């Protein structure tokens, strides 16, 4: 992650408070929040997926720009958060003093640098920091600015941050960088076993019925052919994750083996991150995020909790009570040297339903082995 010296935005408000443009960009959506230095959330909005590795850096930054304009009332939208009488939305860039963008696709320092340079070239903020979205998850879920975060959504990744600032991270480039897991990979595994169950190369499994139901086909082979010919999107593989977890919970041996492997991967990522930051023998929060984990599947969570209890008994597993956009905002406020009260104000805003995916009943949960 890189950052430059902060400045001041003339349109931040009549009170002259500095502002942060927080960005949480993922494989399915992009959330933005404009936050004043005192923690007041001025505007929020959600946009489409942030995909720099497939769509390109410029196109990905375009998504941020369009989403910010929607948050500020442009492009036919309206501010998604109360602005107060003293707030004057900027007519155009710079939108904030500092941009804090924590996004998928920023897996390597060179990728972070390219995204940061594009943000600064566009003038979205006077300064910018770009980092992987796992840093935002950690900041959103942990009670301190350090600990470990493991995300399992479309992909899988982890980060560890020591109290000293020492960082442990992974390339997270898929199978070529040693990864196993994530929604797309799990869908592929489910399909692989379903094919073999149907044609006799593998044991029977409920996953064959799950594939047929998901794709609306009479056979698994028909679903495979539709995928091969481009008649069905590979994104549909993500839809196989819920029935995979359900089948494992119902005792399906093949599905259970996949879920156990996933629990092992989620555990080893966290354990290695703790070891590399000298946190393995210390009390340490492990924040779990991403759609696969925030679904709180009972079997998966119990397997993860048991594994951490055995290998890192001082670790505390946490599912955050606020979305990752809060972590991006808090990291941006940290850069401005904002007060702890400002951080609490941001958290309170999103706990009160200040974002489409931050409902009041999405409380923080900790997990223990059962």
Burial class (CB in 10 A: 0-12, 13-18, 19+), 21: buried
Query: How confident is the model over 50-62, as a mean pLDDT?
Result: 91
Query: How confident is the model over 136-151, as a mean pLDDT?
Result: 94
Give pTM, 2 decimals.
Answer: 0.84
Per-residue pLDDT tens digits for 163-175 = 999 999 999 888 8
Tokens standing for 310? 């055995």
Q: How confident is the model at residue 154 (pLDDT cuts 50, 70, 90)?
A: confident
Best CA proximity match to 219, nearest among 193, 203, 198, 241: 198
- Chain-wide mean pLDDT for the chain? 88
Per-residue pLDDT tens digits for 80-92 = 444 454 667 777 7
In the prediction, which pLDDT does 112 show? Answer: 94
Per-residue pLDDT tens digits for 231-267 = 999 989 999 999 999 999 999 999 999 999 999 999 9
Tokens standing for 128? 């910018």
In the prediction, which pLDDT does 110 show? Answer: 94
Q: What is the DSSP letter of 27?
A: S
Q: Tell me how far apart the alpha carbons of residues 143 and 316 are, in angstroms, rounded to a whole number.
A: 11
- Kindly report the number of other CB atoms within 10 A of residue 110's CB atom: 9
* pLDDT exceeds cutoff 80 at 19: yes
In the prediction, which pLDDT does 87 show? Answer: 64
In the prediction, which pLDDT does 354 show? Answer: 61
Residue for token pair 């481009």:
230
Q: Tell me how far apart the alpha carbons of residues 362 and 135 are, in angstroms, rounded to a whole number.
A: 21
Q: Tell me how far apart the alpha carbons of residues 83 and 70 are, in angstroms, rounded to a whole number.
A: 14
Residues paired with residue 147 on neighbouring β-strands, in sequence order: 161
In the prediction, which pLDDT does 86 show? Answer: 60
Q: What value does the CA radius of gyration of the chain take, rounded to a whole number of Å?
A: 21
Helix 241-249 vs helix 298-311: crossing angle, to nearest 10: 70
In the prediction, which pLDDT does 1 show? Answer: 44
Query: How confident is the model over 36-60, as a mean pLDDT?
Result: 92
């Amino acid at each position: 992650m890189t950052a430059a010296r902060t400045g001041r935005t003339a349109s931040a408000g009549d009170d002259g408070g500095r502002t942060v443009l927080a960005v949480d960009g993922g494989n399915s959506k992009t959330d933005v929040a404009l936050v004043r230095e005192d923690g007041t959330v001025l505007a929020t909005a959600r946009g489409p997926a942030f995909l720099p590795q497939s769509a390109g850096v410029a196109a990905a930054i375009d998504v941020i720009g369009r989403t910010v304009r929607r948050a500020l009332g442009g492009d036919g939208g309206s501010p998604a958060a109360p602005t107060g009488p003293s707030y004057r939305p900027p007519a155009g860039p710079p939108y904030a003093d500092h941009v804090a963008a924590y996004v998928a696709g920023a897996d390597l320092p060179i990728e972070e640098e390219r995204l940061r340079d594009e943000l600064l070239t566009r003038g979205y903020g006077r300064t910018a920091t770009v980092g992987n979205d796992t840093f935002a998850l950690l900041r959103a879920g942990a009670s301190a600015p350090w600990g470990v975060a493991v995300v399992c959504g479309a992909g899988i990744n982890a980060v560890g941050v020591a109290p000293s600032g020492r960082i442990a991270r992974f390339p997270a480039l898929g199978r070529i960088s040693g990864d196993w897991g994530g929604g797309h990979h799990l869908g592929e595994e489910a399909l692989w076993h379903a094919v073999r169950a149907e044609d006799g190369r593998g044991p029977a499994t409920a996953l064959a019925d799950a594939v047929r139901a998901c794709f609306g086909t009479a056979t698994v082979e028909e679903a495979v052919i539709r995928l091969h010919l481009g008649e069905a999107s590979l994104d549909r593989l993500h839809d196989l994750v819920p029935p995979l977890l359900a089948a494992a919970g119902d005792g399906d041996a093949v599905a259970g083996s996949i879920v156990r492997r996933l629990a092992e991967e989620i555990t080893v990522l966290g354990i290695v991150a703790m070891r590399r930051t000298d946190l393995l023998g210390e009390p340490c929060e492990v924040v779990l995020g991403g759609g696969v984990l925030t679904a709180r599947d009972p079997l998966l969570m119990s397997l993860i909790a048991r594994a951490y209890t055995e290998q890192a008994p001082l670790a505390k597993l946490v599912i955050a009570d606020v979305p990752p956009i809060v972590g991006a905002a808090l990291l941006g406020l940290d850069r401005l040297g904002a007060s702890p009260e400002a951080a609490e104000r941001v958290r309170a805003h999103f706990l009160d339903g200040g974002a489409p995916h931050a409902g009041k009943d999405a409380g923080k949960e900790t997990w223990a082995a059962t």
